[in-house]
Chains A and B, each alone.
Chain A
């Protein structure tokens, strides 16, 4: 090992003591006679020394206090989030029930309240009016007046309601996956996201599957469409507060390696990888070489955000 070009590439390994005994002796022999390589070694050592001895900022005296108050603030926000989510979900549920009941008694409503034709497009405000006490009163009256054996009519009306609901605000309704309808007051988006976090991905949300449905307008059950009412779509957006995200689908065997590649080329936050177009091109090539069958979303724009999921899950 007498040439500089042989010695220089392994100088770092020499410093780390990762060379074989023979290689080590070769380097030492060369260094005795080569000023340039000795200088290179001195430079590499000096850089390491400076790096190791870089002075770091001291911990501020109030750091612990700052952390604790930030934790408290987060808890307050979370509590408010849960409260807001529960309020929205309760209101949404009331609206749905009130709307369904009111529309079941369409004729009665029209008679008592001089309502608009329900097949005409309505605004959210109108839907809210349905959910008020005044809207429920005629419903109560109707219940008293209507014969109990009038089940056929009710069933027909229910069908009409479903169809009419779809006509009312088709775009909003399509966006609402059934799982996200916040009818239960026991969970919140925050809690769900926290529950899905694990140590390998310190910030992954179970919301992804639902977001996927939102972004791709996949088949949403009719029951979801009917159950959301006018305010359902917006309540989901308020709770999640997230944009729809694309997904890479890969084989179970390859998923960890692909995730590692994605971390290499992009940034991981909340289970979502974000990278610029150039890095995504590199990532896509790497992912395809790991799993030739993997499904990659198309790039549109200067950057892309996506989750990585197992195929068929």
Chain B
């Protein structure tokens, strides 16, 4: 497939998009907590894949390479957002804090509340913690795969994941009863 895409085969590229689109959107959404932004980021990820596939040598797996691009694109979106937030007034900041709750169909149910609380807690995590939790918990990737994607030793991945979980639990402890 990679060879075909390298030769400019759009059909092969479309197959790749179809295969990876949900995973890329998942990570983007976990990182950005905004549906539309996640779609935009995912789109940018695939454009980058198309442009730079010629440089993919196969030293790592294709999925690792794609995850790495996704991580970088999300980091870029978050950076741009941080720059934009500076110019927002308090009213707008409040809107961002509340987040996009319209996505959850059972808005008023306990589960929806749990998801909303979790989403807000994830937003309060730092970028590195959010990424490692997303890759491990949401994407179910192994330590080795995460180590490749983040370019970190496995030991660092484990300790970062541990710290991230502790941070998340600390934030969630305000709403602990929801989860018990």
Contacts and interface: CB of A to CB of B under 8 A. Distances in A.
Interface of A: 12, 39, 42-44, 46-48, 50-52, 54-57, 59-60, 63-64, 66-68, 70-71, 74, 194-200, 202-203, 256, 259-260, 263-264, 267-269, 274
Given A39-B180, A57-B35, A269-B76, A44 B165 contact: yes
A46 B72 CA distance: 30
Contacts of B39: 57, 60, 63, 66
B140 interface: yes
Given A63-B21, A203-B52, A267-B75, 6 more contacts: A47-B168, A57-B29, A199-B60, A202-B48, A202-B52, A269-B72
Interface on chain B toward A: helix, strand, loop, or mixed SS? Answer: helix
A222 B54 CA distance: 36
Interface string B53-97: 011110110000100110010011011000000000000000000
Q: Which 10 A-B pairs have the closest CB atoms?
A: A46-B179, A197-B55, A51-B137, A267-B75, A57-B35, A67-B46, A56-B26, A197-B52, A198-B55, A260-B151
A68 B13 CA distance: 9
Contacts of A66: 39, 43
Contacts of A269: 72, 75-76, 79
Interface in B1-57: 10, 13-14, 17-18, 21-22, 25-26, 29-30, 35, 38-39, 42-44, 46-48, 50-52, 54-57
B18, B38, B168, B179 interface centre (most CB from chain A within 10 Å): B179
A57 to B, nearest CB: 5
B52 to A, nearest CB: 5
A51 B176 contact: no
A274 B79 contact: yes
Given A54-B118, A267-B75, A200 B25 contact: no
A54 B165 contact: no
Nearest to B10: A68
Contact of B14 (A47, A57, A68): A68
B46 A42 contact: no
Contact of B76 (A260, A264, A267): A267
A199 B66 CA distance: 9
16 contacts: A39-B180, A48-B137, A50-B115, A51-B137, A54-B115, A54-B119, A55-B104, A57-B35, A57-B38, A63-B21, A66-B39, A68-B10, A70-B43, A198-B55, A199-B68, A200-B151
